[in-house]
Amino acid sequence: MLLTISSFVGFTALVLGLSYYLTRKKDASSSEGYFLAGRGLTGWVIAASLLLTNLSTEQMVGLNGQGYMFNMSGIGYEIGASLALIIVAFFFLPRYLKKGYATIPDFVGDRYDSATKQFVNFLFLAGYVLILLPTVLYSGAIGMGGIFNIMDTFGMSEMMAIIVVVVAIGVLGCLYTIFGGLRIMAIADTLNGIGLIFGGLMVPLFALAYVGGGDILGGLTEVVKAHPEKFNAIGGPNDPVPFATMFTGMFLVNLFYWGCNQTIIQRALAAKNLKEGQKGLFLAAIFKLIGPIYLIIPGIVAFHIFQDNPLKVGDMAYPMLVNKVLPFYLIGFFAAVLFGAIVSSFNAALNSSSTLFMLNVYKPLIKPTATDEDLVTKGKYVGIILAIFSMCVAPLIAMAPSGLFNYLQMVNGFYNVPIFTLIIFGMLNKTAPAWAAKVTLIFFMIGYGLTQLGIVKTDLHFLHVLAILFVISIVFMYITGKFWPAKNKYDDGKDLHIVDTTPWNMRVVVSIAIVLCVFGVYVLFSRMGIAA
């Protein structure tokens, strides 16, 4: 245990130290330098930061938990992301960079009005502070607590173990917030990303070797033969991701997440130019294709290993598997890499929340005369306050039902697709008035809430409900734009030349290759492939 803890602390400290050293001379005193890394991120750094921001224990624990309890239908979140990233690279990012937007609500304000911008800004902040930040901390505590077996090792109760890890993640997140903003986070993500690729792939390889008595291919053959149905990615109505949702709500959720979610898209908004931004998005799309190897298959292997003594909670499958199959001398390294992914997701949400508050609330509404130095200083204070609040809320999520990842996606539906509706329609249509946007947000959230709280009874999957509400909202906004058009039409044609917006010349070829790979993955994990 001492060696495990030492390697964990050593790798974590190394990443923090190197990140600070590599960015110590970079200017983070201006708001653009702190919140957008001086608009200087390259493709590889953007890709690594996107992946690490996205990949945390709600994926590692939650998706593998779905693999343990159900099948591979959960890859819809990963494989669907590859397709969404292509659309973001072609459609969303050029429009954002052309206008030099720092936040997504900036676009909403330009397209509709300042009141709609503040409404959307509030929804983002509420979603991050009340849902995302606490969930990242809680899922991180579950994952790290299981890997280190904190309860038994230190004689702690389950709740105390959760609190200890939550505080550790929160404190480290505050350190990144204080010392450098988005740039140091992006560099740390790149370093952790290298470790995560190796660490994430180690788990299924060691797990299969454990099943096969040292033979990885033998272990894979045994698991596939024993449970072919688990390798089916074409989910049915009772699975976490029914395949039909890939063409309805799942498609919308992925487009929002990768194209309109401030926490994610802020990395691409910080690109030095459109070419590098598109490179980063396409690289991330390629890496998402291998996500199922370490995000779902370990859960299926855990099902095989623990089938004689089933786990009470499916979300414990991944940490239990890591503890069982990894050699003791690698557990510390893997835990450090996973810890880095957790901190990355936490930092991203923290930095984005601070960005949204300082640039869209503090500057325009509280202190219009605020200087860049004032924005950065106060932004750090805001980040620390939000971190402390999240640390207090996170342990309460222990009362949430099992199936953490699906639960999180369902709750996020209250704000993600409603915001996406406004953004995508606002880009495609120039006449819908601002009042229609506000009505759409209210209608969407109330309608979704009535179905998910059981007030309006429906057997539809929540992703189908989101798609239906999306269509109704689009039709409503189109009609209002037709009969009551906005007086001032939004002009998205003018390039403000904040950065070079020349597109990447390989974007079409790479996109076609990614689409073919997505098709191939679904064929492989279906009844036409190994699930037969």
Tens-place pLDDT, residues 252-286: 999 999 999 988 898 888 899 999 999 999 999 99
Q: Could you give the C-alpha distances from 394 to 46, 280, 399, 408, in angstroms and in order?
A: 28, 32, 10, 13
State residue 402's pLDDT score: 43
State residue 154's pLDDT score: 75
Q: Could you give the C-alpha distances from 458 to 193, 367, 396, 444, 451, in angstroms and in order?
A: 41, 47, 29, 16, 7
Using a 10 angstrom Cβ sphere, with 0-12 exposed, 13-18 middle and 19 or more buried, the burial of residue 442 is: exposed
Choose between 52 and 429: higher pLDDT: 429
- 337 SS3 class: helix
User: Above 50 in pLDDT, residue 493?
Assistant: yes
Tokens of 101: 């937007």
User: Above 60 in pLDDT, residue 400?
Assistant: no
Query: N- to C-terminal Cα distance for the chain?
Result: 43
Tell me the C-alpha distance between 346 and 199, whole Å. 20
Confidence band (pLDDT; 50, 70, 90) for 405?
low
**Cα dihedral value 103, 106, 107, 109, nearest 10:** 150
CB 5 within 8 A of CB 336: no
Residue type, 465: V
Tokens of 291: 């996500």
Choose between 189 and 394: higher pLDDT: 394
CB 108 within 8 A of CB 117: yes
**pLDDT > 70: percent of the chain:** 88
Average pLDDT, the chain: 85
Tokens 């510390």 sit on residue: 332
The domains found in the chain, sorted by start residue, are 2-232+262-399+502-524 (1.20.1730.10)
Choose between 113 and 373: higher pLDDT: 113
Choose between 372 and 429: higher pLDDT: 429
State residue 407's pLDDT score: 66
Tell me the C-alpha distance between 391 and 389, whole Å. 5
CB 97 within 8 A of CB 269: yes
Which one, of 497, 277, 366, 380, lies nearest residue 35 by Cα? 380
State residue 36's pLDDT score: 55
Q: Could you give the C-alpha distances from 181 to 34, 39, 364, in angstroms and in order?
A: 5, 13, 21
Of 22-31, 255-264, 366-375, minimum mean pLDDT range: 22-31
- 41 SS3 class: strand
Tokens of 91: 């459609």
Tell me the C-alpha distance between 206 and 291, whole Å. 17
State residue 205's pLDDT score: 94
Q: Could you give the C-alpha distances from 76 to 156, 180, 248, 300, 481, in angstroms and in order?
A: 37, 35, 12, 16, 34
> Please, which residues have CB within 8 angstroms of residue 512's CB and are 6 or more apart in sequence?
none
User: Above 50 in pLDDT, residue 500?
Assistant: yes
CB atoms within 10 A of CB 286: 15
For the ranges 136-145, 333-342, 367-376, 488-497, the one whose mean pLDDT is highest: 367-376
The pTM of this model reads 0.82
Tell me the C-alpha distance between 293 and 204, whole Å. 7
State residue 318's pLDDT score: 87
Tell me the C-alpha distance between 104 and 372, whole Å. 20
The strand pairing partners of 500, in sequence order, are 273
Using a 10 angstrom Cβ sphere, with 0-12 exposed, 13-18 middle and 19 or more buried, the burial of residue 308 is: exposed
User: Above 60 in pLDDT, residue 35?
Assistant: no
Kindly calculate the radius of gyration of the chain based on its CA atoms and give it in whole angstroms.
22
The strand pairing partners of 31, in sequence order, are none
The strand pairing partners of 273, in sequence order, are 500
What's the whole-number mean pLDDT along residues 235-262?
A: 89
**pLDDT > 90: percent of the chain:** 38
DSSP state of 235: B
User: Above 70 in pLDDT, residue 237?
Assistant: yes
CB 97 within 8 A of CB 274: yes
Tokens 């890394």 sit on residue: 37
Tell me the C-alpha distance between 204 and 202, whole Å. 6
Tally the residues of the chain. 532
CB atoms within 10 A of CB 77: 27
User: Above 70 in pLDDT, residue 481?
Assistant: yes
Tell me the C-alpha distance between 185 and 179, whole Å. 10
For the ranges 27-31, 295-299, 312-316, 349-353, the one whose mean pLDDT is highest: 295-299
For the ranges 100-104, 137-141, 279-283, the one whose mean pLDDT is highest: 279-283
CB 341 within 8 A of CB 189: no
Residue type, 120: V
Tokens of 54: 């996205």
What's the whole-number mean pLDDT along residues 364-389?
A: 86
Tens-place pLDDT, residues 166-225: 888 888 777 766 665 556 666 666 677 677 778 888 899 999 999 999 999 999 999 999
**Cα dihedral value 330, 335, 340, 346, nearest 10:** 170
CB 432 within 8 A of CB 422: no
Which one, of 320, 353, 319, 313, lies nearest residue 338 by Cα? 319
Tens-place pLDDT, residues 282-326: 999 999 998 889 899 999 999 999 998 888 777 788 888 988 898
